[in-house]
Structure 1
């Protein structure tokens, strides 16, 4: 390495970023992997193989993830196709409303599904009056149903973009050679959009494997990997991390294996999305339009049940766990803002601090990776992407095991919650920052430096203002996702530091659905208000990475 590189402030900033990532991302992950074989007592993998309960949890998780992935794909792909290729009554709402499910925290989704279809749910009781008895929503039925109607949105978003970029002239060429329209779509369009479908399916699979909130609330007596990992962490604390680390390692290995298989499958094809003239949506009227609009509308309506039911539940009176439907009250919301406001205060404080730290760190690191590459920046880039492969439960176990004691005892403080937030959502900022920086010509920076402005000052005066829309978008996404975070924070929080998702989870566990709905409604408002203000007032495209 040249002496000039060593004198550069960018090299030392890169080294500092690498040290921080190594300490707070790589070190906890290494702790998890090594503790499974080097902990006290019997080897964790031996205990895993010898315990039928753990093996059953792994098997059930794989079955659940496969089922949810298949069903979510079966819902998301057709919905994406009809939205991209047809025009019908209500299409605007049907295309837009699924995005709302992205900002509904999963703990609220699980709670409100129970309020609708649980043993004493509103729909369950209504159908029971007519002699129709639904199966219990706990276990397989509830898990598969709720997760499928949440995660299909990720398939829908990925596939509708791929279909929109597909050049319809390829289909037309196939049809001009005598191929039937349906066959041309199957043999021409499907192979081209297949990578997008597989990438979306991979995301659904990994999210299902790492899902904590819905799994914990709806699994009942059905063992699942995220649930038994949490139970091992709660039961053993930081005294014996062998078993919790082993279970967390299994989760990481499953995600890595699925990612490897996905890449192998995609690599076998040589297809690319050909951007050209997209297909003009075909207008549908009468029965044909109704035949498309009704199923699509029903899917969207079902996926929005959580939002509808939480609004009703927040204003419904209750006596303990018994909801008095049709009796309205403001007492539930008074509890959130007056009687017990600490979870709200904690969420706003912790998420605000995490958003500031994450936004500043990812903007700087993105700049180093894209504009100031050196021998260290590839390592910074790779390590910063690791949280994408970690579930919240795995991250929580790693942080708890690493910072429970020793020279940096963060356990039991608010700092470890903020740290979990920053690490978990760091890739959002990295994606937005790097995508924007690739589009900023180097000549802007070079011109500023040639006029005598120092490099660091040039970054703040020239580059950062151009990055500002992407930075703001990343900040809002970080805010909305950290406010809703549960799976990592529930492992590392301590008494008096409950956040809104943790409070909702605890109230659901106690059967107090009305109070849980009030906290949940406030949580949804805290998530939605910044998105609405950013998009409507400041014209920021929150969900864009460009």
Structure 2
């Protein structure tokens, strides 16, 4: 006798279906619209490959792709060259003020890169402080901060902390007995690092390198502000999209498709390599930091402090210039609160929008992350596996591409979202969900299912059990990830600069537009508020998580 299997529509089945629908509407459908638009003729809307042929036939366009790869490759190599040795030195040797160094590095990482670009314009621009000083005192013309060199400087100082944090975490899992064994066999310090330590942490460095590469490739604000004639793909996509807004943005869509395909292949390739090389390390005897003395101790501290000093310059310049007196767009002698008065009088709405949109997005992110983490770890099925795969997409979609994708998808009825706050909140949720999702899944693996089973056996429904037992136990991990999502949301520029209107401007967009207008005083005041919010959020993260560092 054959037994028919009936699909059981319980609470978690409904949640799974709802999440699939949400992803289908706000991620799959927009991506499909982007690809479809890339293959349409602007005039006739017929299927064509002309948009892609145009890119590969004109040197100006495909050279931009070369620029992007050159910048991102050099940034990644420099980030590894700075971040990995810095992590090794601060782990193996005792460094004074190590806790403060870590906090400063994290602040420099979590601040938006366009603030770094703005600060280096103040320092090394044509009328910058350093430029004027060397010209007047030594008669030396300093290298231009604009173009390839400036982009490389800003992105490297912004992104090497990812390598530093990844490598530091990996080094803490290396057993010190391995180093001791190498030393007992006659290995000198350099050979020990290259033959023992480096192979152990290579998968971690590769994972961090991909993150650096993706961030450098997707960055829009830095090359837009100081790139000048050195155009990269996100800037090209933005320029083409804005210039075509009167008609069809099909060529911009084709450029976005090319970028998504490239980043997708790179992501999958790196994941394959890391999975092949990765292994689990469990340190019974972690590396103990050694104390150096005399000249060696001085030589250890000088490069570390110098790198951290360069990293934190943007934030220091922002705070300093925010209190400088201004005359129109120019700084004058003395100090004043005029820049702060100006932003609260004229730019109060972008400040409120940032917090309002951010809090709304975080509430949605927390709920989605908790439900997705639960169904992908506790209720595994083909559908939940599909959801788990879809959550990887935000890693490979640059912000400017996501902005264009959402505009193309939601610029007509029945889902007319363009120009509204909703579309910006959707962009925030899609881009920043992975941070909270990752921490939610991690803590859920530490919670025994027996706790839920006990509650259900005592008469609680699955819904009541989730909110009364599981959700409460997940909360510390969820909130830790939510704060990181929040920090990246308030600093978001790439997607916001494409999606905003006069009524939906955020602080990051306002900073960008003020810098473009050369209104550096108000830009600095806004950036100071953004940086203080970031620091306060970090302190809350440390308090809630009980940690003294951020692990990636």
TM-score scaled by structure 2? Answer: 0.94
Residues 169, 551 of structure 2: 8 Å contact kept: no
What's 1:145 paired with?
153
CA distance in 1: counterparts of 2:512 and 2:446, whole angstroms: 43
Report the counterpart of residue 13 of structure 2 in structure 1: 11
Cα separation, 2, equivalents of 1:210 and 1:354: 21
In structure 2, the CA distance between the partners of 1:503 and 1:275, relative to structure 1 (3 Å rule), is: same
Give the Cα–Cα distance (whole angstroms) in 1 for the partners of residues 409 and 547 of structure 2.
38
Other-structure match for 1:212: 220
Query: Does the CA-based 8 Å contact 1:209-1:251 persist in structure 2?
Result: no
Could you tell which deviates more after superposition, 439-448 or 353-362? 353-362
- Residues 487/317 of structure 1: CA separation in 2 closer, same or farther (3 Å cut): same
Alignment of 1:458 onto 2:460:
no
Partners of 1:67 and 1:144 within 8 A in 2: yes
Which of 310, 319, 327 in structure 2 is aligned with 1:311? 319
Taking a change above 3 Å as real, the CA distance of residues 161 and 31 of structure 1, as seen in their structure-2 partners, is same
Matched, 1:332 2:336: no
Is 184-193 or 259-268 further displaced after alignment? 259-268
Task: Confirm or deny that 1:322 pairs with 2:330.
Answer: yes
How far apart, CA to CA, are the structure 2 residues paired with 1:465 and 1:544? 22
Does residue 1:279 correspond to 2:287, yes or no? yes
In 2: Cα distance, 1:542 partner to 1:399 partner: 38
Bigger CA drift: 40-49 or 369-378? 40-49
The residue that corresponds to 1:21 in the other structure is 23
Q: Secondary structure at the match of 1:360?
A: helix
2: CA distance, partners of 1:24 / 1:16? 12
Paired with 1:2 and 1:125, the residues of 2 have a C-alpha distance of 82
**Closer, same or farther in 2 for the Cα pair 1:447/1:264, shift >3 Å?**
closer
Equivalent positions of 1:237-276 (< 5 A) are 237=245, 239-266=247-274, 269=277, 272-276=280-284
Residue matched to 1:342: 349
Contact 1:138 1:218 in 2 (8 A): yes
- Superposed, 1:105-504 pairs within 5 Å as 105-130=112-137, 131-237=139-245, 239-266=247-274, 269=277, 272-324=280-332, 326-504=333-511
Offset at residue 505 of structure 1 (A):
0.5
For residues 177 and 542 of structure 1, what CA distance do their matches in structure 2 show? 36
Cα separation, 2, equivalents of 1:379 and 1:525? 39
Checking the alignment, whether the CA contact within 8 Å between 2:366 and 2:482 is kept in structure 1 is yes
What do you get for the CA RMSD once the two structures are aligned? 2.0
Deviation at 1:429, TM superposition (A): 1.5
Quote the offset at 1:494 in angstroms. Answer: 1.3
Residue ranges of structure 2 left out of the alignment (5+ in a row): none
CA separation in 1, counterparts of 2:132 and 2:4? 74
* C-alpha distance 534-356 of structure 1, shift in aligned 2 (>3 A): same
Q: Is the 8 A contact 2:78 2:156 kept in 1?
A: yes
Q: Cα offset for 1:270?
A: 6.5
Residue 517 (structure 2) pairs with residue 510 (structure 1)? yes
Alignment TM-score, normalising by the size of structure 1: 0.95
Secondary structure at 2:101's aligned position in 1? helix
Asked if structure 2 preserves the Cα contact closer than 8 Å seen for 1:103 and 1:527, the reply is yes
Q: When the two structures are aligned, how many residues end up with a matched partner?
A: 544
Structure 2 distance, partners of 1:51, 1:355, is: 43
Report deviation, 1:136. Answer: 1.3
8 Å Cα contact 2:440-2:474 kept in structure 1:
yes
Asked if the contact 2:37/2:250 (under 8 Å) is kept, the reply is yes
Shift of 1:493: 1.1
2:173–2:283 contact (8 Å) kept in structure 1: yes
Mapped contact 2:113–2:154 kept (Cα < 8 A): no
Q: Is the 8 A contact 2:119 2:313 kept in 1?
A: yes
**Deviation for aligned residue 1:121:** 1.4
2:334 alignment partner, SS class: strand
Q: Does the CA contact (< 8 Å) of 1:165 and 1:275 recur in 2?
A: yes
Cα separation, 2, equivalents of 1:298 and 1:212: 27
In structure 1, distance between residues paired with 2:79 and 2:342: 37
Which residue in 2 is equivalent to 1:40? 42
For the residues of structure 1 that align with 2:489 and 2:246, how far apart are their CA atoms? 24
- The 8 Å contact of residues 42 and 247 in structure 2, kept in 1 or not, is answered as no
